[in-house]
Chains A and B, each alone.
Chain A
Amino acid sequence: MLAPVTHILPLAKIRRARMLPNEGNVLVREGQVVGPADVIAQSKVDARHVLVDICRELGIPRSSEVERLFEVRVGDRLKKGDVIARVPGIFARYVRAPQDGEIMMMSNGQVLLELAGKPFDLVAGLPGTVMEVIPERGVILETDGAIVQGMWGNGKIDLGLLLVLLKAPDGELTRDQLDVSMRGAVLLGGYCERAEVLRMANDLSLRGLVLSSMSAELIPLAASLSCPVVVIEGFGKIPLSPPAFRLLSGSEKRDVSVNGIAWDAFTGDRPELIIPLPAEGHAPSEIAFFQPDQTVRVQGAPYTGRVGRLVQVRPGLKRLPNGLRTRVAEVILDNVDKVDIPLANLEVIG
């Protein structure tokens, strides 16, 4: 049976798409090496339009009569006050551009002016090589490094030095662990259940906040933070899984790219941490089938976040203690507890 995969890998070859929200210009070329803060593409977003009714402005009812009065063409870039149409004569009358913009369309005695949108800069977000350019839209970047995928992110992306405040997988991030010396860093904390902790983290101008888990009531506040926030295990008091704890606690003082993009099952976008490394990894498999000896992570209380080894997929359906019937696998958790877990509650870690 097909299994969902979560990456917690010390070294992998990682390919990620970086795309503009709309059509624009890609500023890099294939093979180019880019840094995390490099602007790789630009576009204008939220462009507005102004419809200039030349007939009405000039008091000429028939659109066919005003077309000969136009002094501009589609594609012309105009400054505010530039003449769009003119009635010649001693008492010449003008219709001028109300704002800077580009002529998009001219028809029925009307001119559509597109005003400049807000500039949007797309940054690489991680150091890597441009493997593919998608014209007008973005690039595919490739890098080697460690990767830890999370459950929830606040939509922001940044990169900074990792500081590990989490001393044990089940630790809690508290306010007294934070101080101004952490400004500009990416913090690895534990479980967070207090709003004051997030507010203080925001005041510190962090480059990123990584939490093992978080109380779900903090979601609106975490979403509003100016730095990226990534929650690795999910909601409630869930310890960081041993593989993620080992990997991240051993990566202190390394640069880490924190991508808080929302988890989108359709596109495969997922919040994640990438720690670029000067070594060559292999592309991780995105596809797995449940089979013995896989490392799996369990979802669902009382085992949420625990990691174990899959022993066997049991044939047929089995009734759970709460009465539900489903397919299950036998799993040894933390090399100790042997339990039956529904396949639907397992993710392959790899």
Chain B
Amino acid sequence: MSENPASLHDDSILAIDIGSVNTRVALFTVVDNAYRLIASASAPSTANAPFCDIGEGIHHAIQSLQEVTGQVLIDSASRLIIPEQPDGSGVDRLVVTISAGPPLRLAAVGLLPGVSLESIQRLADSISGRVVESLSLNDRRLPELQVDALIHARPDLILLAGGTERGASRSVLKMVDLVSLALRILPAQRRPQVVYSGNQALAKRIKEGLEGITTVHLTPNIRPTIDVEDLNAPLEVLSKVVADIRAQQIGGLGALTPLSSAPIKSTAYAFNRMVRFLSRVYGAQRAVLGVDLGGSSTVITSALGGHTQCLNVLSPFGMGEGLPAALAQMRLAEILQWLPFAAQERDVRNALWQKSALPGALPLTDENLAIEQATAREILRLALRQTAAHWRVVGSSFDPILVNGAVLTRAATLGQSLLLALDGIQPLGISNLVLDTHSLLPSIGAAAEINPLLPVQMFETGMLTNLGCVINLDCRARRGAPVLRVRLEYEDGGDTRLEIKQGSISRLPLRPGQAARIHMTPLRGARVEGWRDSASFRVVGGALGAVVDARGRPIQLPADPHQRIELLKTWALAVEENADR
């Protein structure tokens, strides 16, 4: 890797993000002493058969980028030109993120189910994979049955933890013995790598003991004390290990490794880096939430004051290949409730299964678009519920909320994107909703490693679409009752007064970029989480101005189908006015 962090400020950066469906490239360069996005482009990914090599997809994406920018990035032998040449061709730096590849099979091995095993399972949640076997001291199976279970589970990776610092060691070594036995039974070419995140006093001994059998990666203790969990360093190590496994699985990735200026990262981890970065910028008052609804997986990540609260990669669980797994965990009626027309369960099920077979296909009719968007809402709801259950994420109050994933960010209108995110996340308090329309956040997260200034400067360039500030009102008043008085005092003069009714969603009269002070007075017991009864704050209009969501939490849809459909149409219209891009 070419690494020279001291003198990077004038470097151009090419970011490549290899997804399961699309490969995206983005070119950043310095203009007027600040990084700017020059252009981005995408092409179908070729990690899958028949290519089984990411190179072709990257080549096509870069060709598109060259056509847009006029800048030559690859030479006549199809090699990336690094560094930038005197004639302006090429780039100085390359960063790579990847989410392509089948979900990894993971084994979680810890001491106690509620302690180290729980932490190691959360660590497993952070990558695209699923835990296929768990072992702990409480396992009542005979040792040989535990070994057989581990072998038959065919894990790609074993995550091992246990023991606080200066804590248990004999029990940890007992679990290591089981793992060692299973590894030695397996043929050398099928032995999974091991990540050890337990008692550091044993780390060297465990590495030496297992190193002759398989590759062992060490991280700081994930559970240094019984009541403290520290995921940050293990997450970083695991991201690199996963990239290493992907390099063995996916053709062409290994060839990119020496060209990359920073270690190749999983897209989810790079996204999490950006969420962490923003949470540092926003301080320790509110957590920042990132959601990425992809074809094969869904990522939920939040951070507070620069520390990860959660990084949950649900896989397979998404809007394409991940649909069958998602459908297996939800009731179809939950999807149907979001449709603004009467539909049969059978038709919706057929449409979604067909979508899962061809994940890239777009809905061609209003009805099919509505079915996909209804499904996206419920997948987000379920993903957030599961994340709240597995991780220690308290509450639903986030600011900002970063939204990624084509179904959310490339809806037909910005109003649709806003409603999708609000219905799926149902946040509390006051949140700015931000769309990562070009899916750049993971790339910037990866690039931040070679230039920490880049994220700061990129956020000032408007590469994200800020839909606006949303005031989420929680109230149990009857539908139609006034629940909030709002006065907008515009900085450029004048003011507007509004009364918000229970059950409504309303756009406030604020132009994009227009600044105003909002004075709000809740009525009838309505509350905005994190704010006193009456409050005022400054707001700058987003693409949809500012929004008050007074539909309550959780959103309750009428049981009567006609009323429900009318209400859904009313809400859609309320956010659509002048909202087209």
Considering the complex, give the chain A residue whose CB is closest to the CB of B57. Answer: A2
Chain B residues contacting A342 (CB-CB under 8 Å) are 361-362, 364
Interface assignment of B185: CB less than 8 Å from any CB of chain A:
yes
Determine if A324 and B369 form an interchain contact, defined as CB atoms under 8 angstroms apart. yes
Interface assignment of A180: CB less than 8 Å from any CB of chain B:
no
**With known contacts A49-B185, A266-B49, A216–B101 Cβ distance under 8 A:** no
Chain A residues contacting B413 (CB-CB under 8 Å) are 323
Interface assignment of A76: CB less than 8 Å from any CB of chain B:
no
Considering the complex, give the chain B residue whose CB is closest to the CB of A344. Answer: B360
Determine if A265 and B365 form an interchain contact, defined as CB atoms under 8 angstroms apart. no
Q: Is the interface of A mostly helix, strand, loop or mixed?
A: loop
Determine if B364 and A302 form an interchain contact, defined as CB atoms under 8 angstroms apart. yes
Question: A296 CA to B138 CA in the complex, in Å?
Answer: 57
**With known contacts A217-B346, A235-B353, A345–B361 Cβ distance under 8 A:** yes
Interface assignment of B331: CB less than 8 Å from any CB of chain A:
no
**With known contacts A217-B349, A234-B357, A322-B363, A51–B187 Cβ distance under 8 A:** no
Interface assignment of A301: CB less than 8 Å from any CB of chain B:
yes
Chain B residues contacting A265 (CB-CB under 8 Å) are 20, 48-49, 321
Determine if A322 and B143 form an interchain contact, defined as CB atoms under 8 angstroms apart. no
Which residues, 142 to 162 on B, are CB-close (under 8 Å) to A? 142-144, 147-148, 151-152
Instruction: For the complex formed, measure the closest distance between the CB of B254 and the CB atoms of chain A, giving whole angstroms.
Output: 17
Over the window 215-251 of chain A, the binary record of Cβ atoms lying under 8 Å from chain B Cβ atoms (1 yes, 0 no) is: 1110100000000000000111000000000000000
Interface assignment of A69: CB less than 8 Å from any CB of chain B:
no
Determine if B369 and A322 form an interchain contact, defined as CB atoms under 8 angstroms apart. yes
Determine if A322 and B50 form an interchain contact, defined as CB atoms under 8 angstroms apart. no
Interface assignment of B47: CB less than 8 Å from any CB of chain A:
yes
Determine if B365 and A322 form an interchain contact, defined as CB atoms under 8 angstroms apart. yes
**With known contacts A301-B365, A324-B412, A342-B362, A49–B144 Cβ distance under 8 A:** yes
Question: A96 CA to B430 CA in the complex, in Å?
Answer: 72
Considering the complex, give the chain A residue whose CB is closest to the CB of B64. Answer: A1
Determine if A23 and B187 form an interchain contact, defined as CB atoms under 8 angstroms apart. yes
Question: A50 CA to B352 CA in the complex, in Å?
Answer: 46
Determine if A49 and B351 form an interchain contact, defined as CB atoms under 8 angstroms apart. no
Determine if B346 and A324 form an interchain contact, defined as CB atoms under 8 angstroms apart. no
Interface assignment of A263: CB less than 8 Å from any CB of chain B:
yes
Determine if B48 and A345 form an interchain contact, defined as CB atoms under 8 angstroms apart. no
Determine if A234 and B362 form an interchain contact, defined as CB atoms under 8 angstroms apart. no
Determine if B412 and A323 form an interchain contact, defined as CB atoms under 8 angstroms apart. yes
Question: A122 CA to B551 CA in the complex, in Å?
Answer: 59
Question: A321 CA to B436 CA in the complex, in Å?
Answer: 24
Interface assignment of A294: CB less than 8 Å from any CB of chain B:
no
Considering the complex, give the chain B residue whose CB is closest to the CB of A105. Answer: B184
Interface assignment of A203: CB less than 8 Å from any CB of chain B:
no
Chain A residues contacting B353 (CB-CB under 8 Å) are 216, 219, 234-235
Which residues, 47 to 65 on B, are CB-close (under 8 Å) to A? 47-52, 56-57, 60
Over the window 50-63 of chain A, the binary record of Cβ atoms lying under 8 Å from chain B Cβ atoms (1 yes, 0 no) is: 11000000000000
Instruction: For the complex formed, measure the closest distance between the CB of B275 and the CB atoms of chain A, giving whole angstroms.
Output: 28
Which residues, 51 to 94 on A, are CB-close (under 8 Å) to B? 51
Chain A residues contacting B366 (CB-CB under 8 Å) are 321-322
Question: A143 CA to B362 CA in the complex, in Å?
Answer: 36
Instruction: For the complex formed, measure the closest distance between the CB of A198 and the CB atoms of chain B, giving whole angstroms.
Output: 16
Chain A residues contacting B187 (CB-CB under 8 Å) are 23
**With known contacts A114-B185, A219-B353, A324–B152 Cβ distance under 8 A:** no
Question: A236 CA to B448 CA in the complex, in Å?
Answer: 47
Interface assignment of A151: CB less than 8 Å from any CB of chain B:
yes
Determine if A322 and B364 form an interchain contact, defined as CB atoms under 8 angstroms apart. yes
Residue with the greatest number of chain A CB neighbours at <10 A, chosen from B143, B144, B347 = B144
Which residues, 121 to 140 on A, are CB-close (under 8 Å) to B? none
Question: A203 CA to B544 CA in the complex, in Å?
Answer: 60
- Of the candidates A5, A49, A216, the one whose C-beta lies within 8 Å of that of B148 is A49
Chain A residues contacting B321 (CB-CB under 8 Å) are 265
- Of the candidates A2, A49, A344, the one whose C-beta lies within 8 Å of that of B56 is A2
- Of the candidates A234, A235, A287, A301, the one whose C-beta lies within 8 Å of that of B51 is A287
**Chain A to chain B: the 8 pairs with minimum beta-carbon distance, closest first:** A268-B49, A323-B412, A236-B350, A286-B50, A216-B353, A235-B353, A51-B144, A299-B361
30 A-B contacts (beta carbon < 8 Å): A1-B43, A1-B44, A2-B46, A2-B57, A49-B144, A49-B147, A49-B151, A51-B181, A105-B184, A151-B357, A152-B357, A215-B349, A215-B350, A216-B346, A216-B352, A216-B353, A234-B353, A235-B357, A236-B347, A264-B102, A268-B49, A299-B354, A300-B363, A321-B365, A322-B363, A322-B364, A322-B365, A324-B363, A345-B358, A345-B361
Residues of B within 8 A of A (CB): 20, 43-44, 46-52, 56-57, 60, 101-102, 142-144, 147-148, 151-152, 181, 184-185, 187, 190, 321, 346-347, 349-354, 357-358, 360-369, 410-413, 416
